[in-house]
């Protein structure tokens, strides 16, 4: 952080701010824009796109920005930025293609929409910061290969739980310990919550009811922990992780919940619990040196073998500018897949579902997501929670049953489906998903970028 603030102040003094474009003008964009405008020297929000561009104008207004240009064409968009004006638009591709932006921040939460924007940004040599865990957890590994091809940075954000966990992971490793478990903490877990049950909470905080539902029903934390798993190589101990295990004890003793031998055999694990006080994320790690174990015990960390390190908060949009600066100034991703998917998020029926029904999106009424190891995901041909929207059921599905590709007809022509098929080909050498898409949609094996 201290390196970042110095570098940003230098950019501010040189009048060369990092030029940021944001896609999606919801609750998080509103907070992020306000943070950058008022509290992040050396960085500037130059453009915001939203399907309803008047919402982008409202976000600028919330941050106290006036005289915003509304642009429908690339010429008008770029001309405004050249004159130092800020721009609102309905077309995210104007941001992706502009020569006058350095980085795109995706806060849409949409897998299909986000995939198109991210690939277009790569084509035009732009870094991408994802505040879109659903996209990252579904096809992040294959998107990373395209980022590498174009020599740009793709990263998750600081402040959100995956970024907070990865910062903690790197810090703990830097102390000489071996992380064995990365944990997330929730205040509520109920897989059957829906936008109706969550509307009151959403209204209270000015949030979207379906997004709030994804927090409550476990889908969001599953996506978040899949990102951490893919960045560390850690797995889940079982599908669904701890499924809302309640723990309200001392966070320094939370390691007593886990068998260190099991964690070693897994190569590390991701998990979550509900209720731990004064904690948002935690890392359980061990130290191989008995001399250092003695010192850790002296420093009130306990006798081991698992030592608990934790952070009591996540300040999403307050910290997100750090990820932007790290990507642009230092080419240092906050989160990055090591390779192919290690953990994915499968779709599970939230209620009894009937053949012929068309699935709604995550955070809605029909499905919830559970984190599952990629080997089980592939062997079971599980349908990803990030790709449920628009799938038509071909058979009845019982409540709490995992939905598979064999249970649905996919919407035609989706880029995200092709990318996920390519992800399985590249990293697992598996062609069954390519074959399925080719048979049902006439889709080729690769996506040309």
The three-class DSSP label of residue 310 is strand
List of domains in the chain: 2-159+317-330 (3.40.50.720)
Q: Are 107 and 20 in contact (CB under 8 A)?
A: no
Distance, CA of 141 to CA of 147 (rounded, Å): 10
Burial of 340 (0-12, 13-18, 19+ CB in 10 A): middle
pLDDT of 244: 80
Average pLDDT of span 332-352: 98
Distance, CA of 216 to CA of 193 (rounded, Å): 6
**13-28 burial, b for 16+ CB within 10 Å, e for fewer?**
eeeebbbbbbbbbbbb
The first and second tokens of residue 157, run together, are: 């954000």
362-414 pLDDT, tens digit per residue, is 999 999 999 999 999 999 999 999 999 999 999 999 999 999 999 999 999 99
pTM of the model as a whole: 0.95
Q: Which residues contact 97 (CB under 8 A, 6 or more apart)?
A: 74, 120, 124
12-42 pLDDT, tens digit per residue, is 999 999 999 999 999 999 999 999 999 999 9
Give phi and psi for 373, each to the nearest 5: -65, 145
237-261 pLDDT, tens digit per residue, is 999 998 888 999 999 999 999 999 9
pLDDT tier at 442, thresholds 50, 70, 90 = low
The first and second tokens of residue 319, run together, are: 């910290």
């Amino acid at each position: 952080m201290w390196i970042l603030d110095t570098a940003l102040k230098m950019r501010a003094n040189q009048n060369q701010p990092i030029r940021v474009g944001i896609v999606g003008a919801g609750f998080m964009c509103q907070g992020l824009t306000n943070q950058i405008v008022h509290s992040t020297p050396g960085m500037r929000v130059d453009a915001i796109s939203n399907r309803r561009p008047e919402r982008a104008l409202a976000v600028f207004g919330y941050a106290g920005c006036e005289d915003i240009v509304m642009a429908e064409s690339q010429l008008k968009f770029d001309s405004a930025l050249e004159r130092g004006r800020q721009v609102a638009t309905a077309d995210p591709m104007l941001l992706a293609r502009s020569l006058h932006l350095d980085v795109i921040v995706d806060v849409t939460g949409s897998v299909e929409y986000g995939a198109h924007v991210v690939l277009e940004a790569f084509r035009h040599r732009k870094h991408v910061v994802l505040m879109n865990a659903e996209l990252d957890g579904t096809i992040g590994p294959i998107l990373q290969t395209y980022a590498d091809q174009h020599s740009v940075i793709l990263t998750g954000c600081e402040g959100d739980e995956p970024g907070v966990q990865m910062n903690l992971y790197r810090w703990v490793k830097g102390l000489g310990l071996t992380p064995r478990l990365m944990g997330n903490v929730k205040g509520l877990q109920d897989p059957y919550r829906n936008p109706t049950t969550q509307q009151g909470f959403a209204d209270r905080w000015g949030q979207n009811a379906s997004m709030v539902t994804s927090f409550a029903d476990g889908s969001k934390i599953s996506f978040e922990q899949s990102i951490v798993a893919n960045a560390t190589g850690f797995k889940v101990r079982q599908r669904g992780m701890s499924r809302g295990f309640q723990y309200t004890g001392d966070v320094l003793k939370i390691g007593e919940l886990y068998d260190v031998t099991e964690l070693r055999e897994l190569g590390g694990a991701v998990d979550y619990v509900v209720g731990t006080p004064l904690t948002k994320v935690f890392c359980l790690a061990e130290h191989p040196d008995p001399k250092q174990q003695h010192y850790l015990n002296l420093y009130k960390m306990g006798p081991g073998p698992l030592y608990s390190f934790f952070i009591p908060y996540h300040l999403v949009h307050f910290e997100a500018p750090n990820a932007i600066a790290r990507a642009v100034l230092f080419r240092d991703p906050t989160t990055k897949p090591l390779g192919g998917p290690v953990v994915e998020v499968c779709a599970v029926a939230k209620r009894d579902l009937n053949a012929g029904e068309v699935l709604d999106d995550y955070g809605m009424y029909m499905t919830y997501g559970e984190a599952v190891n990629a080997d089980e995901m592939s062997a079971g041909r599980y349908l990803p929670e990030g790709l449920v929207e628009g799938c038509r059921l071909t058979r009845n599905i019982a409540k709490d049953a995992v939905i598979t590709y064999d249970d649905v007809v996919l919407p035609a022509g989706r880029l995200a489906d092709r990318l996920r098929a390519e992800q399985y080909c590249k990293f697992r050498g598996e062609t069954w998903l390519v074959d399925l898409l080719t048979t049902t949609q006439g889709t080729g094996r690769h996506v040309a970028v």
